[in-house]
Amino acid sequence: MAPDAVATLPDQAMAPEPWRIHSVRRDVASNEVLSWTLYPEPGVEPGAAPAPGQFNMLYLFGVGEVPISVSAITDDGGIVHTIRAVGSVTRAMQDLEAGTVVGLRGPFGTAWPLEQARGRDLVLVAGGIGLAPLRPVIHAALQRRSEFGRVVVCYGARSPGDMIFRDELDAWAARDDVDLRITVDRGTAAWRGDVGVVTQLVDRGGFDRRNTLALTCGPEVMMRFTASALERRGLKPEDIYVSMERNMRCAVGFCGHCQIGAHFVCRDGPVFPYPVMEPAFRVREL
Amino acid sequence: MNELLAIIEKEPFFEDMAPEHRRLLAACAAKCSYTAGTRLMSDHEPTETFWLIREGQVALESPLREGSVAFQTLGTGDILGWSWLLPPYRASYDARAVTDIHTLRFDAGVLRERMEADPAFGYVLMKHFAALIVQRLQAARLQALDIYSHGGPGHGA
């Protein structure tokens, strides 16, 4: 290998910067999902703002570090992260209050290819907490609404009580330039919306099969069936993008914890063209 | 008849059918609208009908002692009902209009006779419904897996 081909760590890539939790918002009745709005501590020079789809490594001092995707960027430079308690670090994060300082590295990874959707219909399919990484795309698409054709947002949740960003869902539903479709796996007596898997919302069409870009985020099995439903509606696989998740450590493609075949999810993803990930979906326990 | 045929020709479910088969379907179809709350099928009751939902929402429900529980909803473009296809020709759940709905209603009893008399037509329609049943079965399995309880991208670890 030529000396200039030797990979090196980017400067400061492994050093977390101190960011303070400005506010904590809890979305789900069970309190297992929360959103932090973070601002850099004085003296910290934030790098480039995260693009929709990218993630940061959040470090809870003395506990550990986890990759968390960005769920919004505020107008004044704050970053919103939405976190679900599923492991030791994220469970510990549930106890933190506004004012706490955490470590942040990033942003890392690939972004949703929103530019490819200009002049085309845009279909976003989110499952569960997978709405969080797609939320910045929705914000961006609504800010630049005239650049896109139909904007269809399909969201599947476990139950009405598990839906996140309820106020924003209501706001999007009230717009006549967004086709918001929501379904839950299990309804309640009070629920008047759709019941069933999110793929059935895709099956209802309402977008131009020859001129649509589809972005999907959620559990892998959901993304696989969503891609099948989109292909059934006539989309080409290369017009479908998925966001993957793996256990990450370095976030810069060195340690290999997040590898899927030849791909580092942290560096080459988390957003991948579906044809790149489709073979991996067929490998058991990968 | 021409209007019904035009509607059928635009629907993805009938997309790849031969013109003569679409005409057979149109001959057994009628436009029907129902108000919200109307029960279109009742669990265990004989059924000789299926519907193409053109507008509105229908809930499929299982009657339980505590009341009915919706396990799936159908909407615009969806097909409602396949119990007419195989013996004992009885519904296995309730179907209730959640909103006012507009449909194409098909006389499945007559269609079944046509399918018996014209095996090529019967095979085509059976293939379309088999694909629909597989799709719904996969969806039901996915629903039963409770996939969102295991997390997903963006939640950390």
CA distance A68 to chain B (A): 5
> Which residues of B lie closer than 8 Å to A, measured between beta carbons?
12, 57, 59, 67, 69-73, 75-78, 98, 135, 138-139, 142-143, 145-157
Residue A133 has its nearest CB partner, among B75, B153, B157, at B153
Mean pLDDT (chain B, rounded) = 90
Other C-beta atoms within 10 Å of A12: how many?
10
- The pLDDT assigned to B37 comes to 94
Look at residue A206 and tell me whether its pLDDT is greater than 70: yes
Q: Which of A130, A199, A203 is nearest residue B154 as measured by Cβ atoms?
A: A130
CA distance B9 to B17: 9
Residue appearing with tokens 């789809």: A53
The minimum CA-CA distance between B82 and chain A, rounded to whole Å, is 17
Q: Nearest residue of A to residue B76 by CA position? A: A204
pLDDT digits (tens, 9 = 90+) for A247-269: 888 888 878 888 888 888 888 88
Average pLDDT, chain A: 89
Which chain A residues contact residue B152 at CB under 8 A? 127-130, 217-220, 222, 245
Q: Give the C-alpha separation, A90 to A223, whole Å.
A: 23
Q: Would you call B155 and A187 a contact, using CB atoms and an 8 Å cutoff?
A: no
CB under 8 Å to A16, separation ≥6 — which residues? Answer: A57, A59, A65, A103, A104, A105
Q: What percent of chain A has pLDDT over 90?
A: 65
User: Chain B partners of A199 at a C-beta cutoff of 8 Å?
Assistant: 139, 142
Answer yes or no: are the C-beta atoms of B60 and B70 closer than 8 Å: yes
**What is the per-residue pLDDT for A6?**
57
Domain A114-281: give its CATH architecture.
3-Layer(aba) Sandwich (3.40)
Q: Which two tokens stand for residue A183?
A: 């379904």
DSSP-assigned letters across all residues of A93-150: HTT--TT-EEEEEEEES----GGGGTTSEEEEEEEGGGHHHHHHHHHHHHHTGGGSS-
> Residue A215's beta-bridge partner residues?
A124, A241
CA–CA dist A45, A283 (Å, integer): 42
Q: Do B151 and A128 touch (CB under 8 A)?
A: yes
Substitution target from A224, A245, A249, A266 for chain B, most B beta carbons within 10 A: A245
pTM (2 d.p.):
0.88
Question: CB–CB of A203 and B135 under 8 A?
Answer: yes
A58 and B155: CB-CB below 8 Å? no
Closest CA in chain B for residue A66: B156
So what's the pLDDT on residue A30?
67
Q: Is A100 exposed, middle or buried (0-12, 13-18, 19+ CB in 10 A)?
A: middle
Count of A-B CB contacts under 8 Å? 132
Mean pLDDT computed over B27-55 = 95
pLDDT at B157 over 50: no
| A221: chain B residues, CB-CB within 8 Å | 142, 145, 147
Q: Fill in the amino acid letter for A82.
A: T
What share of chain B in percent tops pLDDT 90?
A: 74
pLDDT computed for residue A87 by the predictor: 87
Which of chain A's residues have a Cβ under 8 Å away from the Cβ of B135? 203
For chain B, domains (ranges, CATH) are: 31-144 (2.60.120.10)
pLDDT at A133 over 50: yes
8 Å CB contact between B92 and B43: yes
Is the separation of the CB atoms in A89 and A218 below 8 Å? no
Binary contact (B57, A194; C-beta < 8 A):
yes
* Whether A247 and B70 lie within 8 Å, measured CB to CB: no
Q: Which of A76-85, A136-145, B64-73, B89-98 has the lowest mean pLDDT?
A: B64-73
Fold agreement between A7-108 and A114-281? no
| Nearest-CA distance A1 → chain B (Å) | 35
Contact A195 B147 (CB under 8 A): no
Q: Is the pLDDT of residue A115 over 70?
A: yes
Of A69, A87, A162, the CB nearest to B157: A87
3-state secondary structure of A275: helix
Which tokens is A281 given? 């979906």
The contacts of residue B39 (CB under 8 Å, 6+ apart) are B94, B95, B96, B97
> A229 to each of A199, A215, A244, B104, how far by Cα in Å?
6, 13, 19, 24
Can you give the residue ranges of every domain in chain A?
7-108, 114-281
> Angle at the Cα of A150 (from A148 to A151), degrees rounded to 5?
85
Q: Which two tokens stand for residue A172?
A: 């999007």
**Third-level CATH fold of A7-108:** Elongation Factor Tu (Ef-tu); domain 3 (2.40.30)
Q: CA distances (Å), A127 to each of A75, A143, A242, in order?
A: 27, 23, 12
CA distance A75 to chain B (A): 22
